[in-house]
Structure 1
Amino acid sequence: MKTLNLDAIRAAYDRGENITELLRDKDASYNSIEVIEVAYDLQAGTYVNGLLKDKSVFEKRAGEIGEILASHVSSLDTFLDCGAGELTTLSGVSHYLPVNIKMFAFDLSISRLNAGLRFASRAMRYDLFNSLVSFSASMDNVPLHDNSIDVVFTNHAIEPNYGRELPILKELLRVSRKKMLLFEPSFEDNSEEGQSRMKKLGYVRNLPKWIEMAGGELVDKFPLNCVANKLNPTYCYVVEKKDVSSSFELSEVNFRCPLSNAELKDRGSYLWSKEGAHAYPKINNISLLRSKDAILMFHE
């Protein structure tokens, strides 16, 4: 990633420049995780502000996605929103989900989660917001145990990760127990103009192929009617595991160290693993669970 000071990045953003293109290394065909993090953290709050300006479009899209989710999510399920951003979509679809489920949400950007939690406190169904567990993490290193989440959900979160489709899908499949519902763009079904745009922005391609290679079975794929940008059409990919080795018994979902995979204990203001010898801090009760957030700590 190019080295830029924060003032230069903010100035470029204020000028309306595309931050991912600005920070992407010369001749690179994909966005690094660092580029994605900077670009999305910088624009924190814009999704909520845009939603509030046009609630009807938000409600229509949330309704369409919510009804699809409702046909796949059951009472007592665990539900994980990967790349949840400002929790706008999760807040909207929460009103369509069954009772007695446990929701988790993570994103690369702590700023977006902060903005999202403020919004969700007003927009999300109260019972689900009250028990929501939010944390910062990367989609290619989710700090949860194997087969711990019944339904894994994304909404244009895999989108900017061209070149990393396979490791991301493998990781999401690893933590999923029943299925994944991916609401992502389809390069193959896009127009020529749309495909050119997706290439320019470093968006994912050939998701069905990568799903198969990751160990998933694509059981359904269909377009959404409510699309924010016709050059970026949303498709729902319904994915199940080919090999489900775990039982479907209810179990507690615990975090694990992204470095050692050892189980983390919640100490209130931080999470810690004695075996892994690392602690992970919290900001506004959001656990920071990326490997770069690890603090060496052998003893409490």
Structure 2
Amino acid sequence: MKNLKLDAIRAAYERGENITELLREEGADSNSIEAIEIAYDLQSGTYINGLLKDKRNFEERAAEIGEILALHVSYLDTFLDCGAGELTTLSGISHYLPMNTKMLAFDLSISRLNTGLRFASRAMRYDLFGGLEAFSASMDHIPLNDNSIDVIFTNHSLEPNYGRELHILKELLRVSRKKLLLFEPSFEDNSEEGQSRMKKLGYVRNLPKWIREAGGVIVDKFPLRCVSNRLNPTYCYVVEKEDRGLSFKLSEICFRCPISHAELKDRGSYLWSRDGALAYPKINNISLLRSKDAILMFHE
């Protein structure tokens, strides 16, 4: 990533420059995780502001996605929103999920989660907000145990990760027990102009190929009606694991260290693994669970 100071990056953002393009290494056609984090953190609050200016479009899109999810999420399921951003979509679709759904959500950006939790406290279905667990993490190192989440959901969060599709999809399938519901752009079904734009922005391509290679089976794929940008149409990919021989017992949710994979114990203001000798802090009760957040701690 280009060596720019954060104040210079903020100034570029305020001038309207595309931050992921600005931070992309010369000659690279993909975005680094650091560039994605900085770009989205700077944008914190813009999605909520946009929603408030066009509530009808938000409600229509939330209804379309929510009705699809309602067909796949069952009573007592665990549900994980990966790359949840400002929790706008999760708040909207919460009104379509079954009672007693256990919801979790993570994002790279702590600023977006802070902003999003304030919004969700008023916009999300109250019973589900009370049990929501929000944490900061990366999709390529999800700090959860294998087969611990029934249904995993993405909404244009795979989008900026061209070049990392296979690794991320393997992680999503590792953590899931039942299904992935991926609401992402389709390069193959886009127009020539749209494909050119996706290449320029470092967006994902060939998702069906990478899903198969990751060990997933696409049981359905279809376009959404509500699309805000005709050059970036959303498709729903309904994905199951090739190996679906899991029991119907309730899944156990347990955070694990993204470095050692040891189980993390919640100590209130931090999470800690004695075996891994690492602690992870919290900000506003949001656990910071990326490898860069680890603090060496052999003893409590």
Please indicate the TM-score interval, normalised by the length of the shorter structure: over 0.9
Do the aligned partners of 1:76 and 1:99 also contact (CA within 8 Å) in 2? yes
Distance in 2 (CA, whole Å) between partners of 1:266 and 1:236 is 35
Match in the other structure for 2:79: 79
- Residue identity opposite 1:139 in structure 2: M
Q: CA RMSD in A?
A: 0.6
- Residue identity opposite 1:53 in structure 2: K
Match in the other structure for 1:125: 125
Distance in 1 (CA, whole Å) between partners of 2:202 and 2:247 is 38
- Residue identity opposite 2:153 in structure 1: F
Question: Which is worse superposed, 282-291 or 245-254?
Answer: 245-254
The answer to whether residue 7 in structure 2 is matched with residue 14 in structure 1 is: no
Distance in 1 (CA, whole Å) between partners of 2:225 and 2:33 is 30
- Residue identity opposite 2:166 in structure 1: L
List, as ranges, runs of 4+ consecutive aligned residues in structure 1 with deviation greater than 4 Å.
none
CA shift digits 1:64-86 (9 cap, x unpaired):
00000000000100000000000
CA shift digits 1:237-292 (9 cap, x unpaired):
00000013432211330100001111000000000000110000000000000000
Question: Aligned to 1:280, what secondary structure does the other structure show?
Answer: strand
Distance in 2 (CA, whole Å) between partners of 1:166 and 1:251 is 25
The answer to whether residue 170 in structure 2 is matched with residue 135 in structure 1 is: no
- C-alpha displacement of 1:52: 0.5
Match in the other structure for 2:113: 113
Question: Aligned to 2:199, what secondary structure does the other structure show?
Answer: helix
Alignment of 1:119-198 (within 5 A): 119-198=119-198
Distance in 2 (CA, whole Å) between partners of 1:93 and 1:274 is 38
The answer to whether residue 236 in structure 2 is matched with residue 236 in structure 1 is: yes
Do the aligned partners of 1:187 and 1:198 also contact (CA within 8 Å) in 2? yes
Distance in 1 (CA, whole Å) between partners of 2:62 and 2:72 is 15
- Residue identity opposite 2:229 in structure 1: N
The answer to whether residue 274 in structure 2 is matched with residue 254 in structure 1 is: no
TM-score (ref. length: structure 2): 0.99
Question: Aligned to 1:182, what secondary structure does the other structure show?
Answer: strand
- C-alpha displacement of 1:7: 1.4
Match in the other structure for 1:28: 28
Q: Would you say how many aligned residue pairs link Structure 1 and Structure 2? A: 300
Match in the other structure for 2:63: 63
- Residue identity opposite 1:137 in structure 2: A
Do the aligned partners of 2:259 and 2:291 also contact (CA within 8 Å) in 1? yes
Do the aligned partners of 1:177 and 1:248 also contact (CA within 8 Å) in 2? no
Do the aligned partners of 2:64 and 2:226 also contact (CA within 8 Å) in 1? yes
Do the aligned partners of 2:148 and 2:253 also contact (CA within 8 Å) in 1? yes
Do the aligned partners of 2:76 and 2:101 also contact (CA within 8 Å) in 1? yes
Distance in 2 (CA, whole Å) between partners of 1:56 and 1:40 is 24
- Residue identity opposite 2:212 in structure 1: E
Do the aligned partners of 1:77 and 1:102 also contact (CA within 8 Å) in 2? yes
Distance in 1 (CA, whole Å) between partners of 2:112 and 2:80 is 17
Q: Name structure 1 gaps, 5 residues minimum.
A: none
TM-score (ref. length: structure 1): 0.99
CA shift digits 1:67-121 (9 cap, x unpaired):
0000000010000000000000000000000001100000000000001000000
Distance in 2 (CA, whole Å) between partners of 1:147 and 1:248 is 12
Distance in 1 (CA, whole Å) between partners of 2:244 and 2:65 is 26
Question: Aligned to 1:39, what secondary structure does the other structure show?
Answer: helix
Distance in 2 (CA, whole Å) between partners of 1:94 and 1:114 is 18
Question: Aligned to 2:111, what secondary structure does the other structure show?
Answer: helix
- Residue identity opposite 1:272 in structure 2: W
Match in the other structure for 1:207: 207
- C-alpha displacement of 1:6: 1.3
Distance in 2 (CA, whole Å) between partners of 1:55 and 1:61 is 10
Question: Aligned to 1:168, what secondary structure does the other structure show?
Answer: helix
Distance in 1 (CA, whole Å) between partners of 2:49 and 2:173 is 33
- Residue identity opposite 1:144 in structure 2: L
Distance in 1 (CA, whole Å) between partners of 2:170 and 2:177 is 13
Q: Name structure 2 gaps, 5 residues minimum.
A: none
Distance in 2 (CA, whole Å) between partners of 1:45 and 1:289 is 22
Do the aligned partners of 2:78 and 2:251 also contact (CA within 8 Å) in 1? no
Do the aligned partners of 2:147 and 2:251 also contact (CA within 8 Å) in 1? no
Question: Which is worse superposed, 73-82 or 239-248?
Answer: 239-248
Question: Aligned to 2:150, what secondary structure does the other structure show?
Answer: strand
